[in-house]
A and B are shown apart, each in its own frame.
Chain A
Amino acid sequence: MVVMNLAEAIGSGLDDALSNDDRVVLLGEDVGRNGGVFRVSSGLQERHGENRVIDTPVAESGIVGTAVGLAIGGMRPIVEIQFMGFSYPAFDQIASHVARMRNRSRHRFTVPMVIRLPYGGGIGAAEHHSESNEAIYVNTPGLKVVVPSTPYDAKGLLTSAVADPDPVIFLEPIRLYRAVKEEVPGEPFDVPIGQARIIQAGEDVTIITYGAMTKECRAAAQQLDTEGVSAEVIDVRTLVPLDVETLVTSVTKTGRAVVVNEAARTGGYAAEIVAQLQHEVLFSLEAPVERVTGWDTVFPLKKTESYYLPSVARIVAAARTTLEA
């Protein structure tokens, strides 16, 4: 076991992947010499060479598009897009080709590729650096989408993503890169794709979330606890395919649910979770399912970030609403 933060855990997963499989290459802008703008791949180019950890021109479509060819040609590309907000130039390649090549060729040509997208707000960044647009990837058939929120899950999910025969969008909550440290195995291990994790068990209300919002949700649960409310907190960890069963079991027990994510509200992933719940557990529900999300505004700059991001207070209030219904 080694104590690592989330960025280091991803770096450790990348290092293992590069060490254990000659086909793996990491490519992206500034990932080599500079170790990535978040230093996630720090030291990896020195260790594995310029042909394995590849600094690319500033061209997102080019990075993902050539990686399609690399993958079909027998490599296992791991692509880093510097920030999710800069994935739009690559979106055509992702939606039109990465996600479809298997189906288009009826399994002859496949694209086992991991696309790493640092995402989310809370660091007072410049415009485009705080996006949380996972819904567009979720709504693109042919992609799996995972979001770790702990160092352990980050390394384990990365290992699973690299081993997956299909393309995986790997979301990295920027705000959590250095927020917590925990013990993580130095050697490879996997956290299976498609399994939610119960962060803490509770009886009265289920709080469902992922990514950086796990932090707010834990804090909200603590506050609710002081008021005598026992909240169960679930980190879904994988958006596609969603572990509906874990959510259903929990909400069947508690009868109440709050879904929290930092993306814009309309058409966001929280809406999908709510739709699943109303279909599967409607008759166990004691109250309408609440959503706490970002707003349908452009993600604000530093000074008003706090208006936008779900806060502990908003999550606690939503939980109370379900309890009062």
Chain B
Amino acid sequence: MEQILTPEGTLIADSPLGVDDVRRLYRSMVAARLFDRKSVALQMQGRLATYAPFEGQEAAQVGSAAAMRSDDWMVATYRDAAAMWMQGYPWESLFLWRSGDERGGRPPDDVPVLPPSITVGAHMLHAVGLSWAAKLQGRDTASVTYFGDGATSEGDFHEAMNFASVYSTGTVFVCQNNGYAISMPTDRQTSSDTIAQKADAYGMPGVLVDGNDLLAMYDATSVALARARAGDGPTLIEALTYRIGPHTTNDDPGRYRQRREEDEWRLKDPIERVRRYLEAMGVWDPAWQAEIENVESEVIESAVGQAEAVESQDLEMMFGGMFETPTQNLIAQRELMRPHLEGE
């Protein structure tokens, strides 16, 4: 397993990043955790629909996304808000989407990130197609797709891996093996010793990385992206991590795992180990911690405010979403609905 920074915060290999960059990404992880906890809180207040927390997976997402170029495509899931935000998807869009509003599925025009995928597995093929398109167009834009351990059981994972290697597309597959697919532990999902080894069958490199190690994730993704850009094809990265929270805000992990296991993984916290490293380097102190938490919390609060301030959707938005120009049939149906709008 590739590791650069131990849970104690000790470097055991050269850091791929200077200390200022590590500090910047540390701050991003802190922000991501604030977003995650804020989302859980908002869900409990009924202000968001179901939410899928990623606590514990911040390094896997932030470290890998940090290696991307701003024009690289990202195709990720319901649990990958941190990665998506790193690639430019605004917090307010993510809140809006989680509040049950399709407009949150539309990132700004210069953000190459697809809306979060709810179906498990299917989206990996879209990432392959996106980097394939770039290749056909003679560009070196890559794509990075995120998925869980459970998703590797879906047929589309295998079709995506196969297409990517057959056409040698610049696709980076980032599997966050967070131990569970809802209630199912990874060893009930596959008999392979690792997910990384599945890459062998497709003739591409597969690397097993400590997913709670920001630096190792950054490094492995950088290597994979360089390979992609050089036209050498796809890579599978297995980020070994742990979902500290429930599958979603509707889930009760007490039904399928021991509290002890969660406590053990807390000791390998991805944020704490970078904090220790930064402290040892003399660039972390509690005052700075308080400052970044304050600033990032304000940013997140203001994103919540923006998401909650959007105008309500009208019928045109719903019926107008299907095609570039709505069909006569859709227009007729919209008018059938109009008299039944509440309060009218």
Contact = CB atoms under 8 A, between A and B. Distances in A.
A73 B106 contact: no
Nearest to A141: B322
Q: Does more than half of chain B's interface fall in helix, strand or loop, or is it mixed? A: helix
Contacts of B124: 65
A104 interface: yes
Contact of A70 (B103, B129, B322): B129
A52 B163 CA distance: 16
B137 interface: yes
A288 interface: no
B119 A96 contact: yes
A68 B115 CA distance: 13
B190 interface: no
Contacts of A71: 129
B156 interface: yes
A3 B92 CA distance: 58
A180 to B, nearest CB: 30
A105 B328 CA distance: 22
Contacts of B136: 25, 51, 70, 75
B132 A65 contact: no
Nearest to A108: B106
B162 A59 contact: yes
Interface of B: 73, 75, 102-103, 105-107, 109, 114-115, 119, 122-134, 136-137, 143, 155-156, 159-160, 162-163, 166, 317, 321-324, 327-329
Given A51-B136, A57-B162, A65-B159, A107 B130 contact: no
Categorize the interface residue count of chain A. 35 or more
Contacts of A109: 114-115
Interface of A: 25, 51, 56-57, 59, 61-62, 64-75, 89, 92-93, 96-97, 101-110, 141-142, 144, 165-166, 194, 240-242, 244
Contacts, number: 138
Contact of A106 (B105, B119, B132, B329): B105
Most buried by A among B130, B131, B160, B328: B130
Contacts of A61: 122, 125, 155-156, 159
Contacts of B73: 73
Given A56-B163, A57-B166, A65-B124, 4 more contacts: A51-B136, A61-B155, A105-B114, A106-B103
A102 B323 contact: yes
Contacts of A75: 133, 136-137
B304 to A, nearest CB: 20
A51 B137 CA distance: 10
A64 to B, nearest CB: 8
B115 A105 contact: yes
A143 to B, nearest CB: 9
Contacts of B131: 69, 73
17 contacts: A59-B159, A62-B163, A65-B128, A66-B126, A68-B129, A69-B133, A72-B129, A73-B129, A74-B137, A93-B122, A96-B119, A97-B123, A97-B126, A104-B102, A105-B114, A106-B106, A107-B106
Closest 3 CB pairs of A and B: A69-B129, A65-B125, A73-B133
